[in-house]
Structure 1
């Protein structure tokens, strides 16, 4: 295959079509997200270097490619090296690159703030959370806006980042010579700030994850999720969106899933039943391409769901996703034959719903 930089725009769009077909097939290939980003980068590069009059004529095309770049860099940013394992270093590069194409994207700033906070880079985290909240106002794309939970955490992280920066500054002040720092700030006067910091840290830790079962959802810590995963209940399917990978386990057997099939399984478990099955129009967010009529192709839909069902069957999970006919279409639903437990970060944004 020729290098992407040597291809014409038409050839690059042919490669794009091939990769989008691969994504919709349900196959998990660890190179595909990286490749599709590189294709869009080459298309963007060629389009934006056309003469001005040509760029104006192809404005809609440039906007489409920009949106695709931002989508893949943010949604799949943590999987650009390997689809099944998350990687903070690659994620940071991806989110920063997304901001090169759309500097006002709130969720990219939010994710960069979280990763900086995680590494105790509090001044940097402060900057990103401030930007996330600033750009949230009036941002038009709901998919990359902050949901209510993320808004709440952004304020908590912002407050704590500022407190940590203040603490570091105070500790530096204490080291100043007495003839410069004549009136030392009494530690007791800062105790209320430390109390606030500690309270916020406790909230961030104890409400870091959400556990969902058929009976409802509860907040919990990451440590509690890890303990549950290490000793899961019998005869229940466990879907864990951990900080490193997305894992499904059933009675001691497990499989790692890419983000797309993992979220599709989550959708079936939480959103469907025999009376309310999912048709292809309900699952269109999980498909990279549509037909000329703007709809997901029936065969693509069936193939992708069947691949997910087969992967679950490989770990001994009975078919919990059944097919049926609903309003004249093929549809699928969770049949409730085994219980489920889903665990995910409480500020996680699902493709299909921001408000779980």
Structure 2
């Protein structure tokens, strides 16, 4: 939860640091407004909406971000705007990654936020940026981001230690360490392929050159034959292209396929089935959690009311597609009651790795 209501009470002294220019500022609906009193009145109106239950609205958080950004542009001496901007960007960047799957835009937000925070440390932004780099196969950049996310900070060397919401928790630290190792491996593969190409382009290789390439092929250039991940109630596992095709055709499986973000698909008893965008969002939440999801969590994530009505409609549709009426059950939250529910995604997808 972003605590914004008391931002004006936490005034920090002006540190004479030039105000950082966010690349997203050009999209601001407030960029032409110069009346600070009007903007402050609008701020209160937006905060009232925020406190009245619209915390999950991406659009509301985006408006608040642009509003504080404009106020800071008009009043650069008031450095206290830095804190709500930081919190909002972390949340907006997360929403872009989680909901809109616009990784390039999320990357801009996190990169700009890191620059804004300097010289302060901001591990969580580096952490999220690392997953985006990994997804885009920029493994060297991912290595740098994960290393910075995991870096221990000496209070004698940094101006301010990260706040609790800016640090990694134990689970995130473990994931960052694992992805750092995976990034090193992927980057090693890239370097090995580059070395192999250089060998192939040698005009007159000597007898020892091939030894280096053979070693790379034995130790690094192993075939990566399992590009997909499955998430089930039993845990995660890697699958090959062939296994992926077989699962989609399996009559005993209930599949939510996220391998293509632009066109997510659901397979019921081996057949591709059509669902509305809202029902797909609900199914994705249930498949991703693989455990009871509270009604309020679903309502907040999707910014909807009457969750039970959507669930009943979804259950009726699943029944029409041949599943049991109790495929979705409400018991301390909603969950999928099926013997073989499977979420399939690309093995390097940050949306599910974080």
TM-score range, shorter chain: 0.5 to 0.7
Which of 125, 139, 145 is residue 125 of structure 1 equivalent to?
A: 139
User: Relative to structure 1, is the Cα distance of residues 197 and 137 closer, same or farther in structure 2, using a 3 angstrom cutoff?
Assistant: same
Given that residues 208 and 346 in structure 1 are in contact (C-alpha distance below 8 angstroms), is that contact kept between their aligned partners in structure 2?
A: yes
Shift of 1:11: 2.6
Q: Which residue of 2 aligns with 1:152?
A: 178
Quote the Cα distance in structure 1 between the aligned partners of 2:242 and 2:305. Answer: 38
User: Relative to structure 1, is the Cα distance of residues 347 and 197 closer, same or farther in structure 2, using a 3 angstrom cutoff?
Assistant: same
Secondary structure of the residue aligned to 2:230 is: strand
Quote the Cα distance in structure 2 between the aligned partners of 1:217 and 1:169. Answer: 34
Per-residue CA distance 1:291-331 (angstroms, 9 max, x = gap) = xxxxxxxxx8862354344345334353533446xxxxxx4
Quote the Cα distance in structure 2 between the aligned partners of 1:305 and 1:76. Answer: 26
Given that residues 259 and 346 in structure 2 are in contact (C-alpha distance below 8 angstroms), is that contact kept between their aligned partners in structure 1?
A: yes
Q: Which residue of 2 aligns with 1:240?
A: 257
Aligned 1:102-113 pairs, distance under 5 A: 102=114, 104=122, 105-113=125-133
TM-score by length of 1: 0.62
User: Relative to structure 1, is the Cα distance of residues 131 and 334 closer, same or farther in structure 2, using a 3 angstrom cutoff?
Assistant: closer
User: Relative to structure 1, is the Cα distance of residues 196 and 350 closer, same or farther in structure 2, using a 3 angstrom cutoff?
Assistant: same
- How many positions carry a matched residue from both structures? 293
User: Relative to structure 1, is the Cα distance of residues 197 and 146 closer, same or farther in structure 2, using a 3 angstrom cutoff?
Assistant: farther
Quote the Cα distance in structure 2 between the aligned partners of 1:248 and 1:174. Answer: 45
Q: Which residue of 2 aligns with 1:51?
A: 75
Secondary structure of the residue aligned to 2:237 is: strand
CA RMSD of aligned residues (A): 4.5
Q: Which residue of 2 aligns with 1:198?
A: 221
Given that residues 238 and 341 in structure 1 are in contact (C-alpha distance below 8 angstroms), is that contact kept between their aligned partners in structure 2?
A: yes
Which of 44, 63, 66 is residue 42 of structure 1 equivalent to?
A: 66
Given that residues 44 and 66 in structure 1 are in contact (C-alpha distance below 8 angstroms), is that contact kept between their aligned partners in structure 2?
A: no
Given that residues 4 and 42 in structure 1 are in contact (C-alpha distance below 8 angstroms), is that contact kept between their aligned partners in structure 2?
A: yes
Quote the Cα distance in structure 2 between the aligned partners of 1:172 and 1:237. Answer: 47
Shift of 1:166: 5.1
User: Relative to structure 1, is the Cα distance of residues 165 and 142 closer, same or farther in structure 2, using a 3 angstrom cutoff?
Assistant: same
Quote the Cα distance in structure 2 between the aligned partners of 1:125 and 1:50. Answer: 39
Given that residues 211 and 342 in structure 1 are in contact (C-alpha distance below 8 angstroms), is that contact kept between their aligned partners in structure 2?
A: yes
Per-residue CA distance 1:214-245 (angstroms, 9 max, x = gap) = x665331355334422x1325x5322332324
Per-residue CA distance 1:15-38 (angstroms, 9 max, x = gap) = 5838996786xxxxxxx85x4564
Given that residues 54 and 60 in structure 2 are in contact (C-alpha distance below 8 angstroms), is that contact kept between their aligned partners in structure 1?
A: no
Given that residues 279 and 332 in structure 1 are in contact (C-alpha distance below 8 angstroms), is that contact kept between their aligned partners in structure 2?
A: yes
Aligned 1:264-275 pairs, distance under 5 A: 264-266=285-287, 270-272=290-292
Q: Which residue of 2 aligns with 1:219?
A: 238
Given that residues 229 and 345 in structure 2 are in contact (C-alpha distance below 8 angstroms), is that contact kept between their aligned partners in structure 1?
A: yes
Q: Which residue of 2 aligns with 1:28?
A: none
2:320 pairs with 1:320: no
Quote the Cα distance in structure 2 between the aligned partners of 1:247 and 1:20. Answer: 35
TM-score by length of 2: 0.62
Given that residues 258 and 345 in structure 2 are in contact (C-alpha distance below 8 angstroms), is that contact kept between their aligned partners in structure 1?
A: yes
Given that residues 109 and 129 in structure 1 are in contact (C-alpha distance below 8 angstroms), is that contact kept between their aligned partners in structure 2?
A: no
Q: Which residue of 2 aligns with 1:293?
A: none
Quote the Cα distance in structure 1 between the aligned partners of 2:306 and 2:348. Answer: 31
